Amino acid sequence: MSFAWKDYLELANVLRSDSTVVPNNLTEAQQRSSVSRAYYSAFNLVLSYAKSQGYAFPYLKDPKTGKSITGSHADLIQFCKDQNDPAIKNVAIDLESCKNSRVIADYEDNFPQLNKKNKIVIKKVTRIVNLLYP
CB–CB of 121/42 below 8 Å? no
Cα separations (Å) of 53 from 45, 73, 76, 129?
A: 13, 17, 12, 16
Task: Give mean pLDDT, residues 96-103.
Answer: 97
* Contacts (Cβ under 8 Å, ≥6 apart) of 57: 47, 50, 51, 72, 75, 76
> Percent of the chain having pLDDT more than 90?
65
In this predicted structure, what is the pLDDT of residue 68?
A: 64
pLDDT tens sequence across 31-76:
999 999 999 999 999 999 999 999 887 666 667 777 666 558 998 9
- Whether the per-residue pLDDT at 113 is higher than 70: the answer is yes
In this predicted structure, what is the pLDDT of residue 85?
A: 97
Burial of residue 77 (number of CB atoms within 10 Å: 0-12, 13-18, 19+): buried
Maximum C-alpha span of the chain: 47
- Whether the per-residue pLDDT at 23 is higher than 60: the answer is no
pTM of full prediction above 0.95: no
CATH for 6-132 is 1.20.120
